[in-house]
A and B are shown apart, each in its own frame.
Chain A
């Protein structure tokens, strides 16, 4: 087993589980928290992640398969998705464009919009939507670029909600992530939102809330 990444919340290892390559996600104890609270919070995050992964699949969203769960050590074994994060993909594709534009990424943005529409229509909130929490799978057939599949990952902060406010905030978090990670990506994000609107059956209230949340943020004057 080799360490792939050490995050604030968990360590990720690559391993082989019964012949399949997998990711081992270990939520380690946080010494800066009171032990009792840490144990409860860690178990809750593990449980939320597992439940969300299952519900996503039922809603037709690509997510890693769960291979093993150890609630005692807060470890989860997940299917390893071969590919790169959407963040890495956007950065590398943009570098190849002479004009540094995002036009070639529009189809992928539309795909993400569709996925989020399915997620929110199933009353699931991801809780931490960023381009690093989406993986674009390397398709086996290199010529057929249209079949690149996008997986959603990292559901530790997820919860279920039918409120437009929660869905609006979920989208807002992604918007902030886009704008801070990928410069001048406003149009790219609006392509994503258009696809969301087309696919979602409950989008109008969500998009209204998104606009409201945008007005609230940092350095905004709260004149209503």
Chain B
């Protein structure tokens, strides 16, 4: 689990990001979030290449909330929306949201809320560096339409992040 400050946009907001494996209650966690009992985003670990991807999506979501410009209902669903190249909300949830039977889950929550969320997760916390092994890079490359020409000049993470950040500009 690592904590990050969302400066310079929101220097008084910090988030905690944690990777869990051998999770047995993904479905229950989703319900708890939907019901507002816990406040966190559950992200499909196989879709995350680097924690920076999640930080960019989270910064955008928390910032949009301060301006009252969320496109989805919650900050936590907004994070999923921001991670996706698509503008269709349902597609974003399908691609980046966690399935009921999922065993690898990436959790994002406000620093203050994290311990509460952690209590509910039935799984083993592991280092974020494991994301590199878990990630389906080929799929991500295809989803974001990253070409080999692009990869000569920057990393896959950077290509993905750049597209995520520029999503509204078409």
Contacts from A to B (Cβ < 8 Å):
1, 15-20, 24, 46-47, 50-51, 53-54, 57-62, 65-72, 77, 79
A77 to B163, CA, bound (A): 13
A71 to B55, CA, bound (A): 19
Q: Pull 14 A–B residue pairs with CB atoms less than 8 Å apart, ordered by A.
A: A16-B7, A18-B52, A19-B52, A50-B169, A51-B169, A57-B162, A60-B152, A60-B153, A62-B153, A65-B162, A66-B166, A68-B60, A70-B63, A72-B67
The residue from A51, A66, A72 contacting B165, defined by CB atoms under 8 A apart = A66
Q: How many residues of B contact A (CB 8 A)?
A: 28
A-B contact count (CB 8 A): 75
**What B residues does A69 contact at CB under 8 A?**
165-166, 168-169
- The answer to whether A68 touches B52 (Cβ under 8 A) is no
- The answer to whether A15 touches B7 (Cβ under 8 A) is yes
- The answer to whether B153 touches A47 (Cβ under 8 A) is no
**What B residues does A59 contact at CB under 8 A?**
149
Q: How far is the CB of A213 from chain B (nearest CB, A)?
A: 30
**What A residues does B153 contact at CB under 8 A?**
57, 60-62
With a 10 A CB-CB cut-off, give which of B63, B153, B169 has the most chain A CB atoms: B169
Q: B128 at the A/B interface (Cβ < 8 Å)?
A: no
**What B residues does A19 contact at CB under 8 A?**
4, 52, 55
A136 to B118, CA, bound (A): 46
**What A residues does B4 contact at CB under 8 A?**
18-19
Residue of A nearest to B147 (CB): A58
**What A residues does B59 contact at CB under 8 A?**
17-18, 68
Q: How far is the CB of A151 from chain B (nearest CB, A)?
A: 9
**What A residues does B158 contact at CB under 8 A?**
65, 79
Q: How far is the CB of B145 from chain A (nearest CB, A)?
A: 9
Known contacts A46-B169, A58-B147, then 19 further A-B pairs from the complex at CB < 8 Å, ordered by chain A residue: A15-B7, A17-B8, A19-B55, A24-B8, A50-B166, A51-B166, A53-B162, A53-B166, A57-B153, A60-B153, A62-B153, A62-B154, A65-B158, A65-B162, A66-B161, A68-B59, A69-B165, A69-B166, A69-B169
Contacts from B to A (Cβ < 8 Å):
4, 6-9, 52, 55-56, 59-60, 63, 67, 69, 147, 149-150, 152-154, 158-159, 161-163, 165-166, 168-169
CB-CB nearest 6 A-B residue pairs: A18-B55, A15-B8, A60-B149, A50-B169, A66-B165, A65-B158
A1 to B8, CA, bound (A): 7
Secondary structure at chain A's binding surface: helix, strand, loop or mixed?
mixed
- The answer to whether A57 touches B168 (Cβ under 8 A) is no
With a 10 A CB-CB cut-off, give which of A18, A50, A79 has the most chain B CB atoms: A18
A57 to B144, CA, bound (A): 13
- The answer to whether B162 touches A68 (Cβ under 8 A) is no
A20 to B4, CA, bound (A): 12
Residue of A nearest to B152 (CB): A60
Q: How far is the CB of B128 from chain A (nearest CB, A)?
A: 12
A145 to B4, CA, bound (A): 36
**What A residues does B150 contact at CB under 8 A?**
57-58, 60
- The answer to whether B169 touches A47 (Cβ under 8 A) is yes
A53 to B55, CA, bound (A): 21
A116 to B156, CA, bound (A): 24
- The answer to whether A18 touches B165 (Cβ under 8 A) is no
A144 to B52, CA, bound (A): 29
A132 to B147, CA, bound (A): 29
Take A65-B161, A66-B162, A66-B165 as given contacts and tell me if A20 and B149 are in contact as well, using a CB distance cutoff of 8 Å.
Answer: no
